[in-house]
Structure 1
Amino acid sequence: MTAPDDPPVVDARGQRCPLPVIRLARLVRLVEDDPTVLEVTVLATDPAAAHDVPAWCRMRGHRFVGARDEGDHTAYVVGVVRPSGPAAGR
């Protein structure tokens, strides 16, 4: 059970590339308009996620916070960056 202030989580354990990043993208789209969500976490077992999640962050303008080994999987933390300025009305 997660506390209300815990960041949203994509549980992509057991899923292979590209599914962890596809699910991350969907979740970020859902929370981009919620100013209370500052980070999302991806739980993944696929070793490709170690490259894919940071690359997705660079390509989409979000911030890769880091990764931590949690035994049978890795947790990747992504900082949600919201558009601002003239391009914000995409």
Structure 2
Amino acid sequence: MSTEFEVTETLDVQGESCPMPVVKTRGAVDDLASGDVLEVLATDSGSVSDIAGWAESVDDVELLEQSDDGTVYSHYLRKL
């Protein structure tokens, strides 16, 4: 994980499948203040492309980083 940002909130969507990781991420981002960083933990491998595509399609979110440990996919988003 990068040390260039500090996580403000964590959203655990492990066990959820498409489209719920994106739906719940959108709701969590809506509750953040500008500059806050959301960590999303998912087990759905599709969340990597789904969250990246969603973040690219909206104006108020920046995808900072994505990683996985083989089981859990971690996504880090900043609300702009």
TM-score (norm 2): 0.81
Equivalent residue, structure 2, for 1:63: 62
The structure with the largest alpha-carbon Rg is: 1
Q: Which runs of 4+ in 1 moved over 2 A?
A: none
2: distance between equivalents of 1:59 and 1:6? 22
**How many aligned residue pairs are there?**
74
Q: Alpha-carbon deviation of 1:71?
A: 4.5
Counterpart of 2:67 in 1: which secondary structure?
Answer: strand
1: distance between equivalents of 2:46 and 2:70? 17
2: distance between equivalents of 1:30 and 1:79? 12
Query: Where is the strand percentage greater, Structure 1 or Structure 2?
Result: 2
Q: Which amino acid aligns with 1:75?
A: S
Counterpart of 2:41 in 1: which secondary structure?
Answer: strand
Query: Where is the helix percentage greater, Structure 1 or Structure 2?
Result: 1
Higher relative contact order (CA 8 A, sep 6+): 2
Equivalent residue, structure 2, for 1:16: 17
Identity fraction in percent: 22
Counterpart of 1:27 in 2: which secondary structure?
Answer: helix
What is the RMSD computed on CA atoms of the aligned residues? 1.6
Equivalent residue, structure 2, for 1:73: 72
Q: Gaps spanning 5+ residues in structure 1: where?
A: 82-90
Q: Gaps spanning 5+ residues in structure 2: where?
A: 1-5
